[in-house]
Structure formats: C-alpha cells, structure tokens
Amino acid sequence: MLPREPLEIKGVRIPNRLVAAPVASATATPEGRPTEGTLRRVKEILSSCAGLVIMEHHAVHPWGRARVRQMRLDSDPLVESHREVASLIEISGAVPLVQLNHAGGSVADLELLNDPTFRCVAPSPVPNPMREHRVVPAEMTPGEVEELPDLFVSAARRALEAGYRGVQVHCCHGYLLGQFLSPITNQRKDRYGGGLMNRARPLFQVVDALAGAFEDAIISVRLGVADFFPGSSGPGLTPEEGVRVARELASLGVDVIGISGNLCGYDTPLGFDDYSRLVMEAVGGRCAVECTGMVRSPERAERMLRSGVCHLVGVGRPLLSNPSSVAQWLSQP
C-alpha cells in the first residue's frame, strides 16, 4: 500500500508518506520551552507512525508569538530545552521538522496583546479578518521587514542544534508571511506591497536565506495557496497567484511545499486537493508536495498519492482525537 513507501529528501529517508501536520498544543512555558505536557503530546503524535513529524509553530521573535504558551526558538538559551522533543521523534524512526513562525501581531490573542512588552506589528495597519478582536496593528517598518530572514535563519540554526532535520516556514492561515501575500492584509506602497512578487518578497527572502545557510537541512514552506477555499471564490490572494509563488519557491530550492489555505484557514470539508494538484503541475517534480486537510481514511490517502494530488499526505485533527488509529492505515494490506 502506497503510504508505506519511503521518500528520500536531501539524503534523509522518510519511512512512509504520512505526515503529522503541525498542531499547536499550547503546552509551552511562557518562555517558550516544551514541558512534560508537550512530551506527552509528542508521544501521542508518534503513535500515528507518521514518517515525517512537523512540530507545531515556534516563534522566531517575541513579537512574532500568537499566544503566551507557544513554543519559541527566538533565543539561544532555549536550544537545550528542545533537544528531547527532536530526539523522541528521531528515535521513533520518524523525521523531525519544526515549523517556524512570525505570527504577525494582528492574529495574537488578547492575553498577549495585553502584555505591555508585546508590540503588535503586521504588514499594514488593518485588522486580521481571521480574528474577532479587530485589533489594528502597527505597520512594520522596511527595516523590520528586512530583519525577517535573519530571524528565521537564527531560529533554524537553533532548531538544527536541537536535533531537528529541517524547518518549515509558516506562510498560511493569515500569519505574518501569509499577511504579506494577501492584498487584503497587505496594503503597503513600498517594495513589499502591490504586485504579487512584491507581496511575496519577504517569503522569498526568508527562503533564500535559509536555503543559502543550510545546504543539508530540509527546507519546507507551508503555503496558503489562496485566501478562499477550493471550489469557491472571493477577494484576496487567488490560487493562480499561489501557484506562481509555489513555482518560485521550487526555483529557490525549497524541498517540500505543504498545501493549505491562507486567510480562509484550514477548515474545509473538501480539503485542499485541487490546490495541491495545481502546485504539483507547477513545480514539476522539483520539490515534494504535501497536502493536509480532511484526510480521514487510508483509502483517501492512497487515492491522493496515486492520482498525483501530492507526494506526502498530512493529518492534523486525527492526531488529537485518535492518533493510533492512523497507524492502522499503514498496516492494512
């Protein structure tokens, strides 16, 4: 059965085609260190037997957090605390990646927004349509945007020191790099706003810096392909634009593109198969494509792999409800 087939990326063998998608656990200390609760969560995830485990979003800057109890990789003293998580995953036989994120303050929760040390910054001073609180962020200065590649490279260096095999850049679900991509949340008039290639510039600069700094690490981007779900339409980032971004990411040396939604989020009954198929065609085998969303049976996972929707199939909420049932997908004849 297909999901058991391995896939090699940069000499790293992923033992099967199932991916544990990043699912934020809110189990970190306020400093961003994993806790016993995190380790319990990781063990549950590992009972799914997914070959690639992408740990939940870790903040690259204190102002890039989405909530107080989020994991962080924004300072060197944190490295040590992340070793046990990476090593638990590695010892299980799965490949450990970690997702890196700058949330963009407009999605931060109220607890964080009320913290006097937190500064709420985003591409433009517009509320994020994904949050009810409608807080208006401060516009990032060009200098702050130019710092993003360094923030991601520093966090990635810490992740690799902690034992992860690579990183995934969070560019979906209305977080900062996705906010730049969307013309709804990005109304800038400088080189980071306007046309698609300007809006994608911060993402491309981050990826270029990561690919240049870490030749042997797996570099992934989780891309919100559009601001609306497959089969619908609306204002904002279009699938055609998302696919152009994916094509450029493949040229920049990204190893895995994960497919999801941008300002629409991830909660669609149909999943993202249609977007994933478009990205598969656009990247033409230059990188692996992973698709997550409403995969609830081995038959569906197998169909996605066989029909060219993607190379890797991700699961999110099944990891919360019944991760060990996912393992059975791999043992069925």
Would you tell me which residues interact with ligand FMN (CB under 6 A)? Answer: 21-24, 56-57, 99, 170, 173, 222, 260, 266, 292-295, 315-318
Dihedral (CA of 113, 118, 124, 129) sign: negative
Residue nearest to ligand FMN as judged by C-beta position: 316
Q: How far is the CB of 156 from ligand FMN (least distance, A)?
A: 16
| Residues 70, 170: Cα–Cα separation, whole Å | 14
Closer to ligand FMN by CB, 139 or 310: give it: 310
Helix (H, G, I), strand (E, B) or coil at 324: helix
Nearer to ligand FMN, 251 or 297 (CB): 297
* Comparison of 57 and 139: residue with beta carbon closer to ligand FMN: 57
Q: How far is the CB of 260 from ligand FMN (least distance, A)?
A: 5
9 versus 71: smaller Cβ distance to ligand FMN: 71
Nearer residue to ligand FMN within complex by CB, 107 or 139: 107
The two structure tokens encoding residue 201: 């510039």
Residue 326, burial from CB neighbour count under 10 angstroms (0-12, 13-18, 19+): buried
In the complex, what is the shortest distance from the CB of residue 54 to ligand FMN, in angstroms, rounded to a whole number?
A: 8
**Could you tell me the two tokens for 235?**
């204002």
CB of 261 to ligand FMN, least distance (A): 9
Residue that is written with structure tokens 């994608």 in the block: 200
Helix-strand-coil percent breakdown of the chain, rounded to 5?
40, 15, 45
CA distance 146 to 206: 9
3-state class (DSSP) for residue 222: strand
Q: Burial of 36 by CB count in 10 Å (0-12 exposed, 13-18 middle, 19+ buried)?
A: exposed
**57 or 277: CB nearest ligand FMN:** 57
**Is 102 in contact with 157 (CB distance < 8 Å)?**
no
Minimal CA–CA distance to 290: which of 223, 202, 200? 223
Residues 6+ apart with CB under 8 A from 286: 250, 251
Q: What's 281's DSSP letter? A: H
Q: How far is the CB of 327 from ligand FMN (least distance, A)?
A: 15
Q: In angstroms, what is the minimal distance from the CB of 30 to ligand FMN? A: 18
Q: Give me the least distance between CB of 173 and ligand FMN, in Å please.
A: 6
Instruction: Enter the tokens of residue 182.
Output: 């969307």
In terms of CB distance, is 22 or 105 closer to ligand FMN? 22
Minimum Å gap between C-beta 66 and ligand FMN is 8
* Residue number with CB closer to ligand FMN (158 or 222): 222
